[in-house]
Amino acid sequence: MKQIRCNKCGKIIPERNDILLEDVFEGKKEWGYFSQKDLQVDTFYLCEACYERMTKDFVIPVKVEHKKEVL
């Protein structure tokens, strides 16, 4: 597994035996036509702390759903 770093703060996400020891947010956008980035793919990672700092300022809050089980 390649090393994952938070794109905002640069924190290295710890891992052991190719298993992440902290969860991260992965943002991925495949730009389409009618944008200035036709066919470009952008990917970034945020640690949980940076994700919380970013989303707390949203005018429309993040929609949160809770799962009952993990498959």
71: confidence class by pLDDT, cuts 50, 70, 90: confident
The H or E element that residue 41 is part of is strand 41-47
The answer to whether 49 and 10 are in contact (CB under 8 A) is: no
pLDDT tens digits, 8-51: 999 999 999 989 999 999 999 999 999 999 999 999 999 999 99
Residue 2: predicted pLDDT? 80
Residue 13: predicted pLDDT? 96
pLDDT tens digits, 50-68: 999 999 999 999 999 999 9
Backbone angles phi, psi at 6, to 5 degrees: -65, 125
The answer to whether 52 and 11 are in contact (CB under 8 A) is: no
| Domain edges within the chain | 1-71
The answer to whether 23 and 50 are in contact (CB under 8 A) is: no
